[in-house]
Amino acid sequence: MTSSVYKDDDGHTWLRLLSDGGPYPLDNCMGCGQTGSQATGKCEHTIAPTAFEQAWEAFDKWARETFEHDMERCKSKAREYGSADLEIMGVAMQALLPGASDLHDRSRHAAGLEMGIGFYLLGKASRLFGAWNKGREPSEDTWHDITIYSLMARFVRDHGGWIR
């Protein structure tokens, strides 16, 4: 027998057991073990979310709210700083790439930009450790900037460049 979990339209969580010999699956409620099927009936028991599911739901809510805030901050930083310094850093970083590689000019350019962003991230990470070394918490601004640099690098990877 094989199994999978699914949630029906009424919010019940079911463990679907697929019998090896029959064409019809057996549906077992994860709360009471009662069998039924979506066509013939539903269990009356609801399944309480696990501690992990509750924690994940809280994290998911926080992450979505935080991401919205971070996107506004990313936009203002992109507008304020532009990409001129990143372009210069990207060209310099391309010098670290091997001469003979499978990267064509466009992907060498993107790799240089990613490497430049990685260099900026290294600076932010150094600030984290510098603050801890002085016995204080790193600033929220440092963590925000790390998020922004991560988003920038992922955008460069997918699009070959940063916003000008």
Q: Please tell me whether residues 114 and 144 are part of one structural domain.
A: yes
Instruction: Give me the chain's average pLDDT, please.
Output: 81
Distance (Å, rounded) from C-alpha 111 to C-alpha 113? 5
SS3 (DSSP) at 3: strand
Q: Please tell me whether residues 134 and 58 are part of one structural domain.
A: yes
Please state the domain count of the chain.
Answer: 2
Q: Please tell me whether residues 82 and 30 are part of one structural domain.
A: no
pLDDT digits (tens, 9 = 90+) for 112-156: 999 999 999 999 999 999 999 999 999 999 999 999 999 999 999
| pLDDT score of 33 | 58
| pLDDT score of 11 | 66
What is the extent of the structural domain holding 25?
A: 2-36
Handedness of CA 71, 73, 79, 84 (dihedral sign): negative
Q: Please tell me whether residues 32 and 62 are part of one structural domain.
A: no
Distance (Å, rounded) from C-alpha 146 to C-alpha 117? 10
Q: Please tell me whether residues 25 and 73 are part of one structural domain.
A: no
27 pLDDT band, cuts 50/70/90, is low
The stretches of 33-83 forming alpha helices (DSSP H) are: 51-81
Q: Please tell me whether residues 80 and 145 are part of one structural domain.
A: yes
SS3 (DSSP) at 114: helix
pLDDT digits (tens, 9 = 90+) for 92-116: 999 998 887 777 878 999 999 999 9
Domain assignment of residue 10, yes or no: yes
Q: Please tell me whether residues 28 and 107 are part of one structural domain.
A: no
